[in-house]
A and B are shown apart, each in its own frame.
Chain A
């Protein structure tokens, strides 16, 4: 229940439904009958957070336990924050309306680097000290998970624990452990020491980092008995893994409002720029029977009329046709649509296409990533221009009039010809449309190209590479813009300044905590929102900390440099990435994991060989 004070300020803010809770399927428990209160925080708006599958999984997982109550918290938009601060209303959880500072665990999911200031702002709004070392009592413990924590160093000063890898199992273990230590009346340090022994738990405070004169890292030493290398956590069997049977049904419309079920984790492709592809190795599939049952249950319990099958590369799912048949069995009748994001261009087989034709036309997307075959070989994006064109042709023949193409600029070894080739490839797709004799009369084609700036990420073969500086990116954007000769092609960019910051924090060390703190103090928040982003403040924040963003973003590293994240073990040794990096510079591709195992060692995380897992 919301207090009168909260209810009262809601009349002055935009979209009050963001802050009320009370949605269908949200979980209300008796706070006096649980041992652990868990605040699951998403450091962005309600609409974005409520679209996030990871949050739905953990919410259901924790609430399945009788002894715990998980509630949701999102970053209040600036108008709500203002009202809350004016009326001394601390950040509260949506289910109970209770302030989260009294909770036991406060978990943040870190999906993108530009949400770091929101974490600080949310802690402050909750009345919780921002620095971990200033929080002396056992609870609340601040935990962070999500893909960003493969290198959690930039937020090392703020969080008590991070959970590298997959959270399903370790969350339960962490709750058990905290419950035990609460009963024993342990100190925070005693608890953290014990937590550091769990697989998939990292306690940043237990690692001492020393630096060389040039600013690179000299040594990372573990203390307090914490492991030298922190191993990521992996769920071995997706069929038996916890998965939600129902979702909360939001009142206000989130970005994605539909049933979402994972079909597999990991990816068989080793695109060299792609962090997700390596972070979630090895590939593990969920069987079509299980996916089908989970879809059915969620649809029944939510009333959703759309199902989205979630994975990194949907068309690589070996059970796709089987699954579609099972789904069609009951969805057609119930007027439920199915959407398949992340379809690849190169294996858009015609029998699947036929099945997809039954489904309402959603957008068609192809990830080409680079304009020339040479550069696609460098990044190991094993798709040819002919494949993209023939897939487009087929799609146009089936009545599509729009295509979205994904590209990147700023990739290693990229030349101006590579950039211009993006325009040529897009033009060729446009031409395919006009070659089609059956194209709809009077309708033109729309080719939207989304051109991201490449950001080198940890745990990829490009982790040593220099990121193009902002001037170079902007020059290349201009070059591409000038190379596009038709209005049928629309280009979407990333803000080069945001990409630069993303790059800094992706590969940053823990000295950057100071920069994040400065930026937060200067008023930075919602940094991934164009209307809130304030680049000048960020530059001031770097200056105040005496750190140079170029050192982190635009510097090429040598193979023997110690990385800030070298004490994280995601199952793939640095040597493998080094070899892949060399192959990239030689323009040599690596076959996908189904064609041939390339010995990345990720299979050892699950024991056995990768082909046995799927």
Chain B
């Protein structure tokens, strides 16, 4: 039995597939591929698949990954070959490798956020405001959390979780690049950051696009 890491994109309308649905979709894709994968034991056996880090709904990604276990002798090349055509639209298979890092090593996510405004001045106002707020380390976001068994909204200060923040205005579009804490114990999705800035701003973007570029480890090295 071998562990393999499948890398794929999640772009276009596929960004609206929830994590649970993505798991079910991958399970079916693997089933269709006819690959000899390892099944969990028990009453209702199913293919073993694990996502090192779930992606929030609505965020596109250039590099998502999922780990599967295959029977001995199944090569990464064979997995890629057989799985390629079974991936739904927007979930494009990039590569299949043996896992290099452990999921625990995930520390940050690298994102690009594209915001369209009505006019260029608005984009600039928003850019300046966000630079200032990030500098001050004063941003706070609301995050769903659990208190015992109850679901509650928790306030999370963002100051310690924002890295390499930069902005660029092109006409009425603002492009933000940022690394945010990811994985355990704190996972900050970019829409939380933008939401927190929006609360402080008098101009708001018309369209928002969130893209994840990659995951990073401790030293801002790419998670593989």
Contacts and interface: CB of A to CB of B under 8 A. Distances in A.
A293 interface: no
Nearest to B32: A303
Contact of B45 (A1, A17, A253, A335): A335
B17 interface: yes
Interface string A82-94: 0000000000000
A31 B163 CA distance: 46
B201 interface: no
A17 B20 CA distance: 12
Contacts of A22: 12-14, 88-90
B58 interface: yes
A1 B12 contact: yes
A303 to B, nearest CB: 3
A2 B27 contact: no
A87 to B, nearest CB: 11
Given A10-B16, A22-B12, A303 B27 contact: yes
A16 B14 CA distance: 10
B18 interface: yes
A251 B39 contact: no
Given A16-B16, A20-B13, A22-B90, A301 B21 contact: no
Contacts of A303: 27-32, 86
Given A22-B88, A24-B88, A303-B28, A17 B207 contact: no
A24 B24 CA distance: 12
A304 B17 CA distance: 18
A32 interface: no
B88 A305 contact: no
Interface string B21-48: 1101101111110000001000011000
Nearest to A252: B21
Interface residues of A, number: 28
Contacts of A528: none
A296 B13 CA distance: 30
Contacts of A11: 58, 208
Q: How large is the interface on B (under 10, 10 to 19, 20 to 34, 35 or more residues)?
A: 20 to 34
B28 A17 contact: no
Nearest to A21: B13
A64 interface: no
A230 interface: no
Contacts of A23: 88-89
B57 interface: yes
A305 B31 contact: yes
Contact of B57 (A1, A8, A16): A16
Contacts of B24: 251, 253
B29 A17 contact: no
Interface in A1-57: 1-2, 4, 7-8, 10-11, 16-17, 20-24, 26, 28
A222 B25 CA distance: 52
B31 A17 contact: no
B101 to A, nearest CB: 28
Interface in B201-224: 206-208
A252 B13 contact: no
A17 B18 contact: yes
B12 A301 contact: no
Contacts of B86: 24, 303
A17 B17 contact: yes
A302 interface: yes
B21 A302 contact: no
Contacts of A4: 207
Interface in B30-84: 30-32, 39, 44-45, 57-58
A252 B20 CA distance: 9
A108 to B, nearest CB: 25
A4 B32 CA distance: 32
Contacts of B22: 251
Nearest to B24: A253
A300 B13 contact: no
A23 B207 CA distance: 24
A10 B18 CA distance: 13
Contacts of B206: 8
B29 A24 contact: yes
A23 B44 CA distance: 25
Given A17-B18, A22-B90, A2 B13 contact: yes
A300 B31 CA distance: 8
Contacts of A304: 28, 31
A480 interface: no
Q: Which of A17, A28, A253 has the most CB of B within 10 A?
A: A17
Interface in A520-578: none
A8 B207 contact: yes
A24 B39 CA distance: 23
A309 interface: no
B17 A251 contact: yes
A360 B28 CA distance: 20
A335 B90 contact: no
A520 B162 CA distance: 50
Interface in A218-276: 249, 251-253
A251 B89 contact: no
B21 A251 contact: yes
A300 B32 contact: yes
A301 B58 contact: no
Contact of A17 (B12, B16, B27, B208): B16
B21 A249 contact: no
B16 A20 contact: yes
A373 to B, nearest CB: 40
A8 B58 CA distance: 10
Contacts of A300: 32
Contact of B32 (A28, A302, A360): A302
Q: Which of B16, B30, B39, B90 has the most CB of A within 10 A?
A: B16
Given A17-B16, A20-B16, A22-B12, A249 B89 contact: no
B21 A253 contact: yes
A402 B222 CA distance: 53
Interface string A494-525: 00000000000000000000000000000000
Contacts of A24: 25, 28-29, 86, 88-89
Contacts of B14: 20, 22
A7 B27 CA distance: 26
A28 to B, nearest CB: 8
9 contacts: A4-B207, A7-B13, A11-B208, A22-B13, A24-B88, A24-B89, A251-B88, A252-B18, A300-B32
Given A1-B13, A28-B89, A249-B25, 4 more contacts: A10-B16, A16-B58, A22-B90, A360-B44
* Interface pairs A-B: 6 shortest CB-CB: A303-B28, A303-B31, A303-B32, A20-B13, A16-B16, A24-B88
Interface of B: 12-14, 16-18, 21-22, 24-25, 27-32, 39, 44-45, 57-58, 86, 88-90, 206-208
